[in-house]
Structure 1
């Protein structure tokens, strides 16, 4: 009996070994064939090929470094703004001091939007438009692989929140509705932030040289900061009315609701545990949105401080911030998309979706209080 059991396990071991050898043979035969061709060439052919291989090795080392090192990543970075020390709403005149020129309160929302974009393209490389990211893994989109795409997805999630915010700044927050024109700096920032996230120096559609994505986003940073400088000098407008805050919260709630729906679809229909190669980019896109919206909404509480005080919203804003903080504590090393009732592989997408819905629920409640 023991011999049969031992024979059964030896058979399993031999089968696994055979499949592993076949897998390695399939994966490495192109390199073995290329080596056979290479050694038969002259040095006139070998040297350029060797140089190309060396260049690719350097580029891949740089690419891997940039995807794995997250400079400036800090889910609590909003604390650095000391928003609680601001006593005046955005755009309102600051108390005069002897001999000082007239000045107004800067917008914390605009500061945060500019800093988030700076974090994406200056403190870090913008991964989605890097050449090796565009080329993929042997032609396979990096988003369809289980590695090297987390930071790119996170950055796009942050950028999605900043894009949404820039649109609201142009349409309502940065102008007095019906009595003032659109602010040119905010309009320029919105246009630049809407630019394609995947552009490199050269493209095929249309064919020819292009301005890469980070250049547009850096220009948007300058426009946002110029607006805030004008606002601080009382030469621009920030319309901190309750109806503008209602609309802003509505847009954020809808944006998060859309992301929650994407997570739910992936969780329910593709639950392959640790083997779902799209789970990580879905998770980190949602994480990036929450990372950005946490700071943006904290800034909104400061910019709309007069409305918050009049409607007694401090408690519900505080609860919303705590929900964001709880969600941002979820940082698993490997993302798993298991069944929600499974007992081996966790369901990180369902967990993230749960926290997003809790945040969204608080935003809906905030909106209902404002609308009374």
Structure 2
């Protein structure tokens, strides 16, 4: 009685096996054809091709390694600056200990020093993290080539680190603009600082330039070189500030403007996340959800350090205007957002029960941080 049923299922499984075999044969056919052709050639042809294949495999191994290894990544990187130990605002005269000359010696005047800007230090270090501690992924040749011409951002692979770096870079760019326009000068009575001006120009350079491009046959300066120059200019400014040869204007209205610009920047990212979350509910199969998520994560990662540094640079203003509790809570919320590090980003429906909605979760943290920034700005503006 069971023999016909068993035979039926045997035929089904045999057909499935033959189908799988045909698919595998179809996929492997081009490679086997090339391999057979390669074996039949002489060493004059085999040698250069073999060397080229070894180099290609090496390039891809380096590319995969760089996209998967996040050197120096730490959500608690702010702790290394010991910002809570700072007692003076950026640009103010440093209160060093006076030295008493020995008997018979003439006291020499101590060189005048001022307090460095923590904002500038953190911004320069974020650039260093992006282009020195890690390879800048967006301008790597294999990243630009994509997967058979398809942009890596449109695939589930190898784009998370690039998006994260671009998010950090967005925070750095916004800060560089504010340093030039307001924080690094006395508005209306001083010129623009040349070091900050160069840093702003270099950090605004496009994120994808390699040594050569399709628009010109001439060699180009790659993106990381411009960003390293911006980092050097920022550190040059801070050295001048420490020598009291530059200006950091820590006024309340400058802090208001700085918070307003950051709130607008984060708000723009929130709108991008909302659009993707509402209209592209592909769950784990949404190949663009991961780059949206990691861009926002990188932006918050950058602003976590920059706003923590701003709390030190504007310490007197924050305490005078009574926003210290709100400021502390905002920094805590920024740090809480960095705890969310899913291995695979899912853009499920907000009312779904199978696939999580990581984009909506990140959007919640982004909006909460922005709300606190707006509240602090309003208090300062009263």
TM over 0.5: yes
Q: 1:350 to 1:48 in 2, by over 3 A?
A: same
Name the CA shift for 1:7/1:216 in 2 (closer, same or farther; >3 Å): farther
Match in the other structure for 2:70: 70
Provide the C-alpha distance between the structure 1 equivalents of 2:264 and 2:309, rounded to a whole number of angstroms. Answer: 19
Indicate how the Cα distance of structure 1 residues 39 and 174 shifts in structure 2: closer, same or farther if over 3 A, else same: same
Shift of 1:10: 7.8
1:205-216 correspondence runs (5 A): 205-216=215-226
1:170 to 2:170 alignment: no
Could you give the per-residue CA deviations for residues 330-365 of structure 1, whole angstroms, max 9, x where no partner exists?
A: 000111111111111101011100110000010110
**1:162-201 pair list within 5 angstroms:** 162-201=172-211
Which of 354, 359, 368 is residue 364 of structure 2 equivalent to?
Answer: 354
What is the aligned partner in structure 2 of residue 157 from structure 1? 167
CA 12–132 in structure 1, closer or farther in 2 if over 3 Å, else same:
farther
Equivalences for residues 333-348 of structure 1 within 5 A:
333-348=343-358
Partner residue, 1:244: 254
C-alpha deviation, 1:16, in angstroms? 6.9
Q: Number of residue pairs matched?
A: 372
Question: Shift of the alpha carbon at 1:60?
Answer: 0.9
Structure 1 residues without counterparts, runs of 5 or longer:
none
**CA 1:12–1:265 in 2, change beyond 3 Å: closer, same or farther?**
farther
Q: What residue number does 1:144 align with?
A: 154
Q: 1:44 to 1:291 in 2, by over 3 A?
A: same
Deviation, structure 1 residue 94 = 1.2
What's the TM-score, normalizing by structure 1? Answer: 0.94
Q: Give the 3 Å change call, closer, same or farther, for CA 15–224 of structure 1 in structure 2.
A: farther
Q: Residues of 1 paired with 2:24 and 2:258: CA distance? A: 54
Residue 202 of structure 1, CA deviation = 1.1
Structure 2 residue 364 is matched with structure 1 residue 364: no
Specify the alignment match of 2:103 in structure 1.
Answer: none
Going from structure 1 to structure 2, the CA distance change for 1:101 and 1:8 (only over 3 Å counts) comes to: farther
Q: 2:238 aligns with which of 228, 252, 262?
A: 228
CA distance in 2, matches of 1:19, 1:369: 69
Matched, 1:123 2:158: no
Q: Summarize the Cα distance change of 1:9–1:76 in structure 2 as closer, same or farther, 3 Å threshold.
A: farther
Contact 1:93 1:102 in 2 (8 A): yes
After superposition, give the CA deviation of every residue in 1:251-289 in whole Å (9 maximum; x if it has no partner): 111111111111111111111111111111111111000
Bigger CA radius of gyration: 2
1:87 is aligned to 87
State TM-score, norm by structure 2: 0.92
Contact 1:189 1:219 (C-alpha < 8 Å) held by counterparts: yes
Specify every segment of 5 or more residues in structure 2 that has no aligned partner in the other structure, as ranges.
99-108
Distance 1:2 1:159 in 2: 68
Asked if 1:275 is matched to 2:274, the reply is no
Report deviation, 1:38.
2.2
Q: Which moved more, 1:200-209 or 1:292-301?
A: 200-209
Does the C-alpha gap of structure 1 residues 46 and 101 become closer, same or farther in structure 2, counting only changes over 3 Å?
A: same
CA RMSD of aligned residues (A): 2.2
Instruction: Pick the aligned partner of 1:332 from 339, 342, 345.
Output: 342
> How far off is 1:3 after superposition?
9.8
Q: Which stretch has the larger CA shift, 133-142 or 183-192? A: 133-142
| Structure 2 match to 1:43 | 43
For 1:50-99, what per-residue CA distance to the aligned partner results, in whole angstroms no more than 9, with x for missing partners?
Answer: 11000011111111111111111011111111111111111111114325
Shift of 1:219: 0.8
* Deviation string, structure 1 residues 189-235 (Cα, Å, up to 9, x no partner): 01110111111111112332111111111111110000000000100
